[in-house]
Structure 1
């Protein structure tokens, strides 16, 4: 039986009130985090895997799967426990799709795996939020809300990192997840703006050509973002001659996400003794995601080479570039090369693993567990064992 109160009832009581706005539960004030405020264990994971929810799988089958993961050199799992619309654990305030985490957490821990809860961050398609808090959502350069005109796909209803209501909403999710006993960490995904330019290989899918930053995909120009920028720089970004080329306006968007991560979200996880990681973009400028400035313990850049018409050497080069950017900011964050295993055969997986190793990655993160088969796991175990021993 779930512990959560009924979501619509909570909405009526004001937890997500349409008129009063979202309010987080009381907690003591926090100071901004610093890289030294959390000591990463010396035996940090080497290899990770993202996992999407499967609610109908039995406990015995999960036990078998986790033992297999561990025996094939996986050290940590990233189960998705919050999507853009529902929780997969017994949340006290979110719609609950199923209590998946409660089933798998003890089984994964018994198998010797670390468990870091994977959370979709900025997009939100919860009907009650979309309908009653349209002001929380980003606005593009045409003045269109992501609620009515989401970029690319319908779930691209991103909330704004500068809106107090959306800030409180994401804070409360982080607080609830990072308070779960037995969870080793929290993993942020979609902690960014919508892609102003999507990866080259994906553009034909949407019938678009993006050789520049086009207005329908350029966010956020809501009243809060515009007023904050104008207060700091003396000009409304909508009045700029060419907003995409304006350095201060670009930096403002970068810092909007960085401030949310470093000053509001990471301190909550630190209070609860949880490690913090994030799935990030290699083309970070396109999503205003300057992740090498974040105070993370682990970072997992999604080096999905096929999205960029690139080969395995690109994975090596991007891994090196990411590490250099982190070190340039004085960060000790461990970087794991995120690999799209669904795009390769076993031989291709071996080459990607080798190139990530050449790039000095701390390890790799596989997307995703469901894309792996017996042949792939055999190659993964053999290759990672050889790389780690060599």
Structure 2
């Protein structure tokens, strides 16, 4: 679906219960389902035969899946023809064809700020974010090895990302571009994830606090007269410095990346955080066509009800109204919990949901999703 048609069809009809399916879970009348869309994040396998992909898309069609976000760029190699990135295989063309045959939208899911391409790590070290200890992410990534984030204020990074998005947006019959990792590294991880790394983050610690590169410090000083590293006793307590990081990501989205997607007639969307402050991702101020907050309740030691609370809150914060689809971490939801969660999403104003990820869907989950 092209962007103009997507925007045209954003009517927000009322939703309500209508029946109970054979599994005892609530279902909804078809007339109420037209604007409630089901999505799936998929991680393509480069060596999977085209016929297997087509079979999977037929299965998704049978279960009413509206669209997929296919990870075709994961910070190193591309799964589509690229003029400047190393190409592993052209999987995207196969997915687009399978999508068109089954009436399923295909959106190119790309990692945005991380860059794990050895060429850029070696030749563009200044592109990477620097923490408050002066450690660059290309050599000292936070938490895990692939957390080599680039800085949104570096001109070279802006040009690199603009080129990447422009190239993807130009692909024929692609429906949209889905931005992931469009943020800084987590200054504070979700509560349930902290034990995984044997850390307790009760405040913003310097090794996880970004970005203090020369470009960011000078740009902030030009705006405020202050160097965040040398002129502030506690940079983490500065609202001005915090907002500067929010605005740095928002500028990249609104003024550099979204226009490329829009100019190509494609749909723009992003996977975003509910705890957006911790990743400097003020997505309520963005200008995209749709948002997929990753409401992975177990990461925050919460139950499914939290998904509805967050969904209502995030929708209310949007500066410009747009569809919000609840991102669900399927391994943490039993089929019964999934059914309950889908009801919660509807009641909270969500226009649909996306599950992470295709390979996590069990036969019982499929029954609920149908």
**1:143 aligned residue:** 134
Match of 2:322 among 321, 333, 358: 333
Say whether 1:373 aligns with 2:367: no
Say whether 1:40 aligns with 2:4: no
SS at match of 1:48: strand
**1:161 aligned residue:** 152
- Note closer, same or farther for the CA distance 1:56–1:335 as it changes in structure 2 (3 Å cut): same
CA contact (8 A) 2:69 2:109 kept: yes
Say whether 1:290 aligns with 2:282: yes
Say whether 1:278 aligns with 2:270: yes
CA contact (8 A) 1:37 1:270 kept: no
Say whether 1:92 aligns with 2:95: no
Cα shift readout 1:87-112 (whole Å, capped 9, x = no counterpart): 01111110111111111211111100
- Note closer, same or farther for the CA distance 1:269–1:38 as it changes in structure 2 (3 Å cut): farther
**1:11 aligned residue:** none
With normalisation by structure 2, the TM-score equals: 0.91
With normalisation by structure 1, the TM-score equals: 0.86
Deviates more, 1:313-322 or 1:352-361: 352-361
Give the unaligned 5+ runs of structure 1: 1-35, 382-390
Match of 1:189 among 180, 190, 199: 180
Say whether 1:106 aligns with 2:117: no
Match of 1:130 among 121, 125, 129: 121
CA contact (8 A) 1:38 1:270 kept: no
Task: Provide the alpha-carbon RMSD of the alignment.
Answer: 1.4
Say whether 1:117 aligns with 2:122: no
**1:225 aligned residue:** 216
Match of 1:364 among 339, 353, 370: 353
**2:28 aligned residue:** none
SS at match of 1:221: coil
SS at match of 1:237: coil
Counterparts of 2:337 and 2:281, CA distance in 1 = 29
Say whether 1:72 aligns with 2:39: no
Q: State the Cα distance separating 1:39 from its structure 2 match.
A: 6.4
Counterparts of 2:315 and 2:94, CA distance in 1 = 36
Structure 1 runs of 4+ with >4 Å offset: 36-39
**2:255 aligned residue:** 263
Cα shift readout 1:298-328 (whole Å, capped 9, x = no counterpart): 10000000100000100000000011001xx
Say whether 1:343 aligns with 2:325: no
CA contact (8 A) 2:46 2:91 kept: yes
SS at match of 1:277: strand
Q: State the Cα distance separating 1:38 from its structure 2 match.
A: 9.0
Deviates more, 1:259-268 or 1:103-112: 103-112
Say whether 1:320 aligns with 2:287: no
- Note closer, same or farther for the CA distance 1:371–1:256 as it changes in structure 2 (3 Å cut): same
Say whether 1:250 aligns with 2:242: yes
SS at match of 2:315: helix
SS at match of 1:296: coil
Counterparts of 2:237 and 2:339, CA distance in 1 = 41
Q: How does 1:299-318 map to 2 (within 5 A)?
A: 299-318=291-310
Counterparts of 2:56 and 2:241, CA distance in 1 = 47
Q: State the Cα distance separating 1:68 from its structure 2 match.
A: 1.1
Q: How many residues align?
A: 343
Deviates more, 1:144-153 or 1:62-71: 62-71
SS at match of 1:335: coil
CA contact (8 A) 1:281 1:289 kept: yes
SS at match of 2:107: strand
SS at match of 1:204: helix
Cα shift readout 1:113-133 (whole Å, capped 9, x = no counterpart): 011110000000100000000
Q: State the Cα distance separating 1:57 from its structure 2 match.
A: 2.0
Q: State the Cα distance separating 1:56 from its structure 2 match.
A: 2.3
SS at match of 2:369: helix
Cα shift readout 1:343-369 (whole Å, capped 9, x = no counterpart): 122112112212111211010011011
